[in-house]
């Protein structure tokens, strides 16, 4: 094949879906015949860390680690968070203090497109030295942080090299930009940068049909590369009964996933359904926005909630296969019918029944239905949510085990299939 240079701010030991997407893709590209080199920060400031992922980095893969100036370190110190940085907008809507309001304004308007751009000069320097010594067929940049794409823009101009820009999330339209106090000048500058990257990249990669629709008119070429799931990451469920009917949510629960009708439906089931309260637990494996925790407590559900915090990837997948049911919530935001979150595919691969709260005609709902995981329920459909939870519970109750769903229906969404498509695409781009 050839040689690919990947620039990714997030890399093991950082954790999360963005890390897993490119750890898996880069590893599989090497198995498919490509040589992959990765440039990443020595100490990325991430919301979560998963050192277990370092074991998955192939020994033959070159990892070039650089310095990175990151204002989030100062932010964490100022806010007294002991180095922990929020992710995906968790906590930023709680503008109760003047200090938080000031920090949000600075973050929104002084770091465009994002506060990770302090890494760019170090990554550029390392990439330049490498590209001057060696010949690479293509570079790939992945965002968020979308400032990483500006590195690809510079390298494309300087070295006349093929460049693929990977968008795991929207850029200008990412939901927390609507929460931040952004000025009109900031919005114009950010939009201009997004337009420039989309128009310049030889190909734009996205994770969903929704992002494809948002970007396609402004890109030379655009392709969907699903996150997918790795069957090797999905363990077999343990035999025996489950102590509780556990409705489990894995990943970060953001402010726009705090669904009132869902929590109320659960509280009402605790009163109405015989022994439901005794048998039921609501578990969160990841960070939870304070607004959701506060609402659950007010509804009297706090004693039934278990907050595990962020867990290593292998722990999260084990929790998926051993759940009574999995809770899936598409963020409640503009154009959310176009959203496909990364964890969806591992949910599907786990074989565990799902409660899906999402736009009924959206991208996610379509895949969920096609793979036999049931219909999705709208955010305001209190009765529909309650009936779905009741049905899942009653299916679990006789054996204290949930039925396993067919894995064959999810074969089209494996990591290997995505990597093979990516490999063909890079080869086509390099030949053009």
User: pLDDT digit string (tens) for 316-348?
Assistant: 999 999 999 999 999 998 888 888 888 999 999
pLDDT band at 124 (very low <50, low <70, confident <90, very high): very high
Same domain for 20 and 139, yes or no, is: yes
Residues 126/64, Cβ–Cβ less than 8 Å: yes
Instruction: Look at the chain and report how many structural domains it folds into.
Output: 2
- CB of 58 within 8 A of CB of 34? no
Q: Which helix (H) or strand (E) holds 389?
A: helix 382-396
Q: What is the SS3 string spanning 353-385?
A: CEEEECCCCCHHHHHHHHCCCCCCECCCCHHHH
Query: Measured between alpha carbons, how far is residue 136 from residues 1, 3, 289, 426 in Å?
Result: 11, 5, 43, 12
Q: For residues 120 and 62, state if they share a domain.
A: yes
Question: Are 352 and 275 in the same domain?
Answer: yes
Please give the sequence-ordered ranges of beta strands (E in DSSP) within 168-308, or none if there are none. 203-206, 222-224, 245-250, 280-285, 305-307
Q: pLDDT at residue 200 above 80?
A: yes
pLDDT at 109: 86
Residue 6, pLDDT > 60, answer yes
What helix, strand, coil percent values describe the chain, rounded to 5?
45, 15, 35
pLDDT tens figures, 353-378: 999 999 998 999 999 999 999 999 99
Backbone angles phi, psi at 2, to 5 degrees: 180, -155
The residue count for the chain: 432
CATH number, position 390: 3.40.50.2000
Distance CA 390, CA 372 (A): 18
Asked whether residue 333 falls in the same domain as residue 420, the answer is no
Q: Quickly tell me which residue has 């693929």 as its tokens.
A: 164
pLDDT of residue 246: 97
- Tell whether the model's pLDDT for residue 231 goes beyond 60: yes
Q: What is the pLDDT of residue 342?
A: 83
Determine the pLDDT at residue 93. Answer: 57
Same domain, 351 and 223: no
Question: Same structural domain for residues 419 and 316?
Answer: no
Global pTM value = 0.88
Tell me: do 175 and 144 sit in the same domain: yes
335 and 215 in a single domain? The answer is: no
Mean pLDDT of 175-201: 93
**How do residues 80-97 score in pLDDT, each as one tens digit?**
554 444 555 555 555 567
Residue 297 has what pLDDT? 97
- Could you tell me if 289 and 278 lie in one domain? yes
Q: Are residues 183 and 243 in the same domain?
A: no
419 lies in the same domain as 403 = no
Question: What does residue 181 show for φ and ψ, rounded to 5 degrees?
Answer: -80, 75
Same domain, 200 and 173: yes
Structural domain containing residue 34? 3-228+414-431
């Amino acid at each position: 094949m050839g040689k690919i240079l990947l620039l990714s701010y997030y890399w093991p030991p950082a954790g999360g879906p963005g890390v897993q997407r490119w750890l898996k893709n880069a590893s599989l590209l090497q198995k498919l015949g490509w040589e992959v080199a990765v440039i990443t920060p020595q100490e990325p400031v991430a919301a979560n860390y998963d050192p277990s992922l370092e074991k998955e980095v192939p020994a033959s893969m070159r990892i070039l680690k650089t310095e990175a100036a990151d204002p989030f370190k100062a932010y964490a110190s100022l806010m007294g968070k002991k180095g922990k940085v929020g992710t995906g907008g968790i906590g930023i809507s709680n503008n109760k203090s003047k200090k938080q309001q000031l920090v949000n304004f600075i973050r929104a308007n002084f770091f465009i497109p994002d506060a990770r751009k302090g890494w760019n000069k170090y990554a550029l320097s390392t990439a330049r030295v490498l590209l001057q010594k060696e010949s690479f067929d293509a570079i790939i940049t992945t965002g968020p942080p979308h400032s990483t794409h500006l590195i690809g823009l510079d390298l494309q101009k300087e070295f006349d090299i093929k460049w693929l820009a990977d968008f795991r999330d929207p850029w200008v339209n990412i939901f927390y930009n609507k929460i931040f106090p952004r000025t009109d000048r900031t919005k114009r500058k950010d939009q201009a940068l997004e337009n420039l990257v989309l128009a310049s990249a030889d190909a734009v990669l996205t994770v969903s049909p929704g992002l494809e629709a948002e970007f396609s008119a402004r890109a030379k070429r655009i392709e969907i590369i699903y996150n997918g799931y790795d069957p090797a990451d999905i363990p077999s469920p343990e035999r025996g009964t489950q102590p509780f009917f556990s409705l489990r949510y894995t990943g970060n629960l953001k402010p726009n996933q705090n669904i009132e009708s869902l929590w109320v439906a659960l509280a009402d089931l605790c009163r109405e359904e015989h022994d439901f309260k005794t048998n039921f637990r609501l578990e969160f494996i990841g960070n939870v926005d304070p607004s959701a925790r506060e609402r659950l407590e007010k509804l009297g559900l706090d004693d039934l909630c278990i907050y595990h915090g962020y867990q290593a990837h292998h722990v999260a997948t084990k929790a998926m296969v051993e759940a009574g049911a999995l809770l899936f919530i598409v963020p409640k935001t503009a154009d959310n019918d176009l959203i496909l979150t990364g964890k969806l595919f591992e949910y599907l691969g786990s074989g565990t029944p799902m409660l899906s709260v999402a736009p009924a005609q959206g991208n996610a709902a379509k895949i969920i239905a096609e793979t036999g995981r049931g219909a999705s329920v709208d955010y305001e459909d209190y009765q529909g949510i309650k009936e779905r939870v009741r049905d899942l519970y009653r299916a679990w109750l006789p054996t204290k085990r949930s039925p396993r769903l067919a894995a064959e229906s999810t074969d089209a969404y494996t990591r290997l299939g995505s990597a093979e498509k990516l490999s063909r695409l890079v080869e086509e781009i390099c030949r053009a």
